[in-house]
């Protein structure tokens, strides 16, 4: 049977902005992936869910300003449990220098800022999973 | 990459990541799947299986969340398999049952897995039962299987669980809906959720009327439990109801009979599948199939007659050993 990419999607912490994460989740579903949508969750719960769901990828939506604290924490917790093969993507509103810092210093696979075409996100996830 | 035997061994001692990987391998029909089930099946059969079913948005996941907490609070180790539908167009899925799960206590011992239904129309996925058995073998006391949001005739959950909970809401319809065949008939426990809304009394009354009419032939009369799961009202009564049905099944080995019936059906289904698979692969790999394909493409024979010829030829070919045996050759 064809192997489906499993993506755990969550809103980071107490962020209430739902539209972005809904939109991306829906498009990932339409591209044939299995999206496990968590709603609002904290890093510990997100990592726990990724373990139980055997996720290939975690997608974090952040428009609430906690991207520099909670985002890297997810990567750290994964590393602590020996789950580096699960790649973490982020999307949302943040300063471009924060995005660069997350990618270069904190182990986030890719940060997608506003106006990213949906196909770029889909292709990004597919190629990352194919490499793993 | 770890060896499969190491993954199985770790899963059996309760390692979450390994348990999770085993479910994935079985779910995607990996070549190691038969080996995994062969190793794990002997360890399964100890857990108690609860099915939760009902229409989309009836409150299945919210109820599951509350039940998991109650079981965990009472020291149980709980496994949940929650199924949501797959897209027939993209094959993708949006599995949203975890949204309702909010268990903050880290000492609670539970494992929650979301599955997509694939192309199966019975409310569960092809491998839901296998996934549940993996959790069972890995030491869960209670397995909760949550179906996709169902209509009237998705009854697979009744073939896979010991207690079936059917969740209705005040909007589920009138007395005629309640009399209909299908989902209503497989319930061991009825829940009228969202009972804070108007109409809850009516549906509970309709259920009671339906059950009273068939009272004389019921050895177990399903209780009707009113809940308001999101407000955490009445879920304790449901919890007690589950215990009561379990005690009922444990008396006179009814649970053994129920499981035997289910396994008998399951075994028969599997034999059918294997049988068809074996015969078809024999036919498709044989010379006759290629020849027939050519003949149909060249319009020498129509597909229906070609198929008939192939099947007849296959049957007579297979008859030979038994004919020989009959003649004592």
Assess if residue A70 is contained within a domain.
Answer: yes
Show the domain range for A50. 6-131
The gap from C-alpha B93 to its chain's centroid, in whole angstroms, comes to 18
Chain B interface residues facing chain A, Cβ-Cβ under 8 Å?
A: 16-17, 20-21, 23-24, 28-29, 86-87, 89-96, 98-99, 106, 111-114, 116
b/e burial code for range B145-167 (CB count within 10 A of at least 16 → b): bbbbbbeeebbbbbbbbbbbbbb
For the segment B132-141, the average pLDDT, to the nearest whole number, is 97
CATH number, residue A111: 3.40.50.280
Residue of chain A nearest B23, judged by CA positions: A54
Is the pLDDT score of B321 beyond 70? no
Assess if residue A1 is contained within a domain.
Answer: no
pLDDT at B314: 87
pTM given for the model? 0.90
Assess if residue A24 is contained within a domain.
Answer: yes
Token output for B258:
């129920």
Token output for B217:
């032939």
Q: How far apart are the first and last CA of chain A?
A: 19
φ, ψ for residue B41, nearest 5 deg? -55, -45
Shortest Cα–Cα distance, A49 to chain B (Å): 8
For the segment B173-198, the average pLDDT, to the nearest whole number, is 92
Residue of higher predicted confidence among B190 and B103: B190
pLDDT at B329: 43
Q: How many domains does chain A have?
A: 1
DSSP B142-161: EEEEEPPP--SS--GGGGT-
pLDDT at B296: 96
**Chain B residues within an 8 Å CB radius of A51:** 16-17, 20
Is the pLDDT score of A116 beyond 80? yes
Where exactly are the structural domains of chain B? Answer: 1-43, 45-252, 265-327
Torsion angle, CA of B77/B67/B101/B130, rounded to 10 degrees? Answer: 50
**Chain B residues within an 8 Å CB radius of A2:** 28, 91
- CATH code reported for the domain at B45-252: 3.40.50.300
What DSSP state is assigned to residue A109? S
Residue of chain A nearest B24, judged by CA positions: A54
Location of structure tokens 């032939």: B217
Token output for B178:
């309640």
**Chain B residues within an 8 Å CB radius of A35:** 92-95
Residue of higher predicted confidence among B317 and B239: B239
């Amino acid at each position: 049977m064809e192997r489906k990419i499993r993506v755990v999607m969550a809103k980071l912490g107490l962020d209430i902005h739902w539209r972005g994460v809904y939109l991306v989740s829906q498009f990932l579903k339409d591209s044939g992936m299995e999206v496990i949508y968590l709603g609002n969750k904290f890093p510990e719960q997100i990592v726990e869910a990724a373990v139980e769901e055997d996720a290939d990828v975690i997608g974090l939506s952040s428009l609430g300003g906690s991207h520099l604290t909670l985002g890297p924490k997810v990567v750290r917790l994964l590393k602590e449990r020996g789950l580096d093969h699960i790649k973490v993507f982020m999307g949302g509103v943040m300063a471009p220098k924060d995005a660069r810092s997350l990618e270069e210093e904190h182990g986030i696979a890719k940060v997608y800022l506003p106006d990213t075409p949906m196909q770029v996100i889909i292709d990004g996830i597919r190629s990352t999973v194919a490499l793993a | 990459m770890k060896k499969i035997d190491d993954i199985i061994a770790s899963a059996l001692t309760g390692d979450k990541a390994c348990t999770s990987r085993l479910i994935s391998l079985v779910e995607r029909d990996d070549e190691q799947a038969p080996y995994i089930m062969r190793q794990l099946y002997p360890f399964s059969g100890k857990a108690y299986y609860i099915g939760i079913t009902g229409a989309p948005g009836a409150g299945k996941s919210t109820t599951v969340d509350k039940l998991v907490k109650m079981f965990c609070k009472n020291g149980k180790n709980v496994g949940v398999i929650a199924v949501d539908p797959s897209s027939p167009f993209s094959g993708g899925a949006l599995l949203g049952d975890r949204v309702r799960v909010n268990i903050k206590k880290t000492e609670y011992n539970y494992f929650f897995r979301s599955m997509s239904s694939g192309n199966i129309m019975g409310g569960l996925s092809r491998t839901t039962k296998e996934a549940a058995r993996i959790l069972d073998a890995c030491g869960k006391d209670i397995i909760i299987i949550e179906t996709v949001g169902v209509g009237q005739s998705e009854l697979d959950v009744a073939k896979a669980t010991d207690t079936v909970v059917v969740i209705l809401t005040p909007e589920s319809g009138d007395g005629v809906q309640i009399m209909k065949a299908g989902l209503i008939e497989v319930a061991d426990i009825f829940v009228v959720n969202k009972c804070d809304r108007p109409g809850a009394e009516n549906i509970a009354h309709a259920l009671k009327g339906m059950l009273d009419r068939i009272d004389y032939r019921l050895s177990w009369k399903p209780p009707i439990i009113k809940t308001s799961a999101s407000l955490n009202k009445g879920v304790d009564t449901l919890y007690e109801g589950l215990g009561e049905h379990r005690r009922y099944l444990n008396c006179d080995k009814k649970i053994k009979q129920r499981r035997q019936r289910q396994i008998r059906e399951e075994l028969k289904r599997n034999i059918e599948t294997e049988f068809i698979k074996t015969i078809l692969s024999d036919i498709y790999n044989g010379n006759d199939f290629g020849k027939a394909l050519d003949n149909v493409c060249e319009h020498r024979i129509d597909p229906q007659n070609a198929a008939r010829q192939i099947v007849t030829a296959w049957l007579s070919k297979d008859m030979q050993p038994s004919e020989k045996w009959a003649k004592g050759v």
